Chain A
């Protein structure tokens, strides 16, 4: 099946080990090399079933750190795995709900609220993708999607509102992660959950920017778009603050480029392209 030189039996055995190691009890980031193998597996075999099965048989629910690391892994695999991963994730919502039910009200190490908020974000993300399958897991910009939205202004309006809803959820989750930092610890495990959030919020931001620009070009009714403009502006400021705070986390800036936004939101009435990747 894959054009790469691979061996399916071996890959499946390794996948089990990778899942186990990515969700180990150490309070650290899920090791990227193991997360990467999970992502690569879904592309090699155009399937994520073995990933979900492997995850479900791991005894992780009794440990809040392991549960949190599993959610980070799930988020990254949904974002960067083969598109079929998102479709197959729809039937895993029961397991995700179990994750948030099982964790104690606060957990001894304070991951309880983080887990519950993370689960509700992932579920919201999956609902979005179910309604709008044309978006990929990281909301990477594709011109044709923008055009599709603006041909039907109502459809475009709704898509943007829904994207903004997700953006708000990312924002409240990241605030919660920051407020749960512990001064005594290195916080690596918590910080590593910000990595996929930075990437996803940036993808959404670029999309919203170019869709709003396209809609402004097509319409004469500036008034109708006013609610979206003001919401866009407030999201811009929140996102700017989020990225600024991330840029002070050495562990995180070593891993990804954190975008830097200008003081003012981009002008939606000019013909600029989507903001460039940092």
Chain B
């Protein structure tokens, strides 16, 4: 019930705050809902990142999510998950943008949030930030992983796994 209420509220917020469809999709994929972003959602965002206007809107919303406060650690964590996916199969512009702004990710390596039950929720963010920082700093690995991803994706789409 609670999550249903929140989801409804998010829809209303997308509308009242004047978020575009693209931004609403990013907000849905990186919401406080405990489920991880779905492959379908991420794939859709990756495809949209090839269009310049959509790309700008995606980056704008991801930036907001990545810089959210501790209580919303899920926003931050899921934004990192989406970013990881985009780095693998989104447009090259995503790579360029985040190499240039790597400090946004790097400084999340010490992200802290301990919830009311003393659970260290920040750990998820710290690990993911470390992984992505390493990936962004390793050009060869990034190139290979992007290539593998494309060919795998191509194979799946052709129906020849």
Chain A residues engaging chain B, CB cutoff 8 angstroms: 2-5, 31-33, 36, 39-40, 43, 80, 82, 195, 254-256
Q: Could you list 30 examples of A-B contacts with CB < 8 Å? A: A2-B101, A3-B100, A3-B101, A4-B104, A5-B59, A5-B60, A5-B63, A31-B112, A32-B112, A33-B69, A33-B112, A36-B107, A36-B108, A36-B110, A39-B103, A39-B107, A40-B67, A40-B103, A40-B104, A40-B107, A43-B101, A43-B103, A80-B103, A195-B110, A254-B123, A255-B110, A255-B112, A255-B126, A256-B109, A256-B110
Q: Is B70 an interface residue (CB 8 A)?
A: yes
Q: Is B25 an interface residue (CB 8 A)?
A: no
Contact mask B81-115 → A, CB, 8 Å, 1/0? 00000000000000001001101101111111000
Size category, B interface: 20 to 34
Q: Is B21 an interface residue (CB 8 A)?
A: no
Chain B residues contacting A80 (CB-CB under 8 Å) are: 103, 106-107
Chain A residues contacting B97 (CB-CB under 8 Å) are: 3
In-complex Cβ contact of A4 among B70, B101, B106, B108 (8 A) = B101
Contact residues of B: prevailing secondary structure: helix
Shortest beta-carbon distance, B147 to chain A, in Å?
A: 25
Give Cα distance in the complex from A43 to B101, angstroms.
8
Chain A residues contacting B120 (CB-CB under 8 Å) are: 254
Closest to A43 in B: B103
Chain B residues contacting A3 (CB-CB under 8 Å) are: 97, 100-101
Chain B residues engaging chain A, CB cutoff 8 angstroms: 59-60, 63, 67, 69-70, 97, 100-101, 103-104, 106-112, 120, 123, 126
In-complex Cβ contact of B63 among A4, A33, A256 (8 A) = A4
Give Cα distance in the complex from A2 to B63, angstroms.
12
* Apart from A36-B110, A40-B104, A195-B110, 7 more pairs, CB < 8 Å: A3-B100, A5-B59, A5-B63, A39-B107, A40-B107, A82-B103, A256-B110
Q: Compute the total of residue contacts between A and B using a CB distance below 8 Å.
A: 40
Chain A residues contacting B63 (CB-CB under 8 Å) are: 4-5
Closest to B130 in A: A257
Shortest beta-carbon distance, B57 to chain A, in Å?
A: 10
Chain A residues contacting B126 (CB-CB under 8 Å) are: 255
Chain B residues contacting A256 (CB-CB under 8 Å) are: 109-110
Chain B residues contacting A5 (CB-CB under 8 Å) are: 59-60, 63
Chain A residues contacting B108 (CB-CB under 8 Å) are: 36
Shortest beta-carbon distance, B41 to chain A, in Å?
A: 22
Give Cα distance in the complex from A36 to B66, angstroms.
12
Give Cα distance in the complex from A5 to B106, angstroms.
18
Shortest beta-carbon distance, B61 to chain A, in Å?
A: 9
Please give me the 5 A-B residue pairs with the lowest Cβ-Cβ distance, nearest first: A43-B103, A36-B107, A5-B60, A32-B110, A32-B112
Chain A residues contacting B107 (CB-CB under 8 Å) are: 36, 39-40, 80
Whether B123 lies near A32 (C-beta < 8 A) is no
Closest to A257 in B: B130
Shortest beta-carbon distance, A203 to chain B, in Å?
A: 14
Chain B residues contacting A195 (CB-CB under 8 Å) are: 110
Shortest beta-carbon distance, A42 to chain B, in Å?
A: 9
Residue among A4, A31, A39 with the most chain B CB within 10 A? A4
Give Cα distance in the complex from A3 to B158, angstroms.
37
In-complex Cβ contact of B70 among A33, A43, A254, A255 (8 A) = A33
Give Cα distance in the complex from A32 to B60, angstroms.
23
Chain A residues contacting B70 (CB-CB under 8 Å) are: 33
Closest to A38 in B: B107
Give Cα distance in the complex from A4 to B67, angstroms.
11
Closest to A2 in B: B101
Shortest beta-carbon distance, A87 to chain B, in Å?
A: 17
Shortest beta-carbon distance, A14 to chain B, in Å?
A: 11
In-complex Cβ contact of A32 among B100, B104, B111 (8 A) = B111
